[in-house]
Amino acid sequence: MLSRDDCQKMDALDPLAALRNDFVLPDGLIYLDGNSLGPRPRAALARATQVVDQEWGRGLVSSWNDAGWHRLSTHLGDKIAPLIGAGAGEVVVTDTTSINLFKVLAAALQLQTERGSNARVILSETSNFPSDLYMAEGLSDLLDRGYTLKLVDHPDEIANAMTTDVAVMMITQVNYKSGYMHDIAALTKLAHDNGALTIWDLAHSAGAVPVDLKGAQADFAIGCTYKYLNGGPGAPAFVWVSPQLLPLVRQPLTGWWSHAKPFAMKPGYEASRGIEQFLCGTQPIVSLSLVECGLESFAKTSMNALREKSLALTDLFFACAQERCAHHPVKLVTPLNHKHRGSHVSFEHENGYEVIRALADRGVIGDYREPKIMRFGLTPLYTTFTEVWDAVDILTDILDRESWRDARYAERNAVT
Ligand SMILES: *Cc1c(COP(=O)(O)O)cnc(C)c1O
């Protein structure tokens, strides 16, 4: 049996323990929702003051040049690149993940058409993040060329569904609900063998698990900065295009920042040859500036070190839950196999929503996803082993006493 003492010893020996100081985490709160909104880096407050007071307040318009605002999207892209196996000059931080998905999906479908492909299927998972599927539906309607979405219910079905009528395979590497992690290299090879292009949504991968886009010969990737990268609420997303494909593709949101010479102000669109082609309009500079603060913590460690701790945290969560909650109808949804596990753990419970609300009242913040899923993000930059022990302890108490049955938990908040 694991004891709380054992967990405290694990924390004392944790080589990453000091990184927790980079973040503001309210006293007495166990924050297991960094997979939805990362906590605030300490440095973000000073950076916000600098960008609002000095760069905007004093520098005014000259800050586009003097404070480097015009290069911020690529500058931040260069800092994200090593976390996802991309190179310098290959990533931009811009817009939202949903909008970036639209851009890369349109570019991928266009490239397939130019190559003479008649494939009209976009392959994804039923359990993919709904926004990704909605964007694919919207784009298919707009293009009106007979594209259809083919959705599989289980990761094992992808291989059979990958036929030569698939134009693009669009998968979220770590499933937002189950925490299942796909093998980017294996699925990319499968797609390429069938003539399909791949789009990887790294919303729950970037900063959570090591990713090697180039090693996997992936084609396109997008992802969030406000989850594991701790960029701030609604911070702009990122987009990567393989350097081999970049010269061949066009994205349709041809705003001036994607132009080869935005300040030439000439009529007639000419796409930038760099990854800047995947920008569109002017960036939200205040929000974009804060993204850098989150990335600074990653520069102090490695994704392999983070992965090692992440697996130790999720293993510990499972072990504690197995020891203490096994007599309750709580079903583990996240794979036990390390190869297929991201950095959050999910359990199914009929009254998952109420349990998550009861946990929040006891200072444990997880979240709920339809249907019945309780999610707990275990983020190695700041989550401690003792917190995992305590969280499962409180969860067990709530289940034992059935305190989730309190009537006030039945009413849904606007955001779950
Ligand atoms: C969080 C998340 C998004 C979010 O998209 P936004 O456009 O930033 O709201 C997209 N895809 C996945 C898989 C996500 O988990």
DSSP 51-68: IIIIIIIITGGGHHHHT-
Q: List, chain by chain if needed, residues with CB within 6 Å of any ligand 1 atom.
A: 96-98, 129, 131-132, 172, 176, 201, 203-204, 224, 237
List the chain residues with pLDDT less than 70: none
- pLDDT confidence of residue 2: 87
- pLDDT confidence of residue 162: 98
**287 Rama sector, left if φ>0, alpha if ψ -120 to 50, beta otherwise:** alpha
Diameter over CA atoms, the chain: 71
| Of 37, 95, 98, best ligand 1 pocket probe by most atoms within 8 Å of the beta carbon | 98
Give catalytic status of residue 40 as yes or no.
no
d(Cα 100, Cα 324) in Å, to the nearest integer? Answer: 43
**Which atom of ligand 1 is found nearest the CA of 234?**
8
Segment 221-267, tens digit of pLDDT: 999 999 999 999 999 999 999 999 999 999 999 999 999 999 999 99
pTM above 0.85, yes or no: yes
Residue 131 CA to ligand 1 centre (angstroms) = 7
Residue 204 CA to ligand 1 centre (angstroms) = 9
Give catalytic status of residue 226 as yes or no.
yes
Which of these is catalytic: 23, 31, 102, 129?
129
Which of these is catalytic: 79, 177, 227, 309?
227
Decide if 186 contacts 215 (C-beta within 8 A).
no
**b/e sequence 114-141, b meaning 16+ C-beta within 10 Å:** eeebebbbbbbbebbbeebbebbeebbe
Give catalytic status of residue 4 as yes or no.
no
Half-sphere exposure of 17 (CA within 13 A, CB side): 13
d(Cα 373, Cα 144) in Å, to the nearest integer? Answer: 36
CA distances from 360 to 60, 355, 365, 376, 379 (A): 42, 9, 5, 12, 18
3-state secondary structure of 123: strand
Q: Smallest Cα–Cα separation from 344: which of 365, 323, 322?
A: 365
Decide if 113 contacts 144 (C-beta within 8 A).
no
Residue 132 CA to ligand 1 centre (angstroms) = 7
Residue 2 CA to ligand 1 centre (angstroms) = 36
Segment 162-203, tens digit of pLDDT: 999 999 999 999 999 999 999 999 999 999 999 999 999 999
**b/e sequence 287-322, b meaning 16+ C-beta within 10 Å:** bbbbbbbbbbbbeebebeebbebbbbbbbbbbebbe
- pLDDT confidence of residue 416: 85
In this structure, which residue's CA is closest to atom 14 in ligand 1?
A: 203
In this structure, which residue's CA is closest to atom 15 in ligand 1?
A: 203
**Which atom of ligand 1 is found nearest the CA of 99?**
7
- pLDDT confidence of residue 26: 96
d(Cα 361, Cα 355) in Å, to the nearest integer? Answer: 10
Residue 376 CA to ligand 1 centre (angstroms) = 17
- pLDDT confidence of residue 254: 98
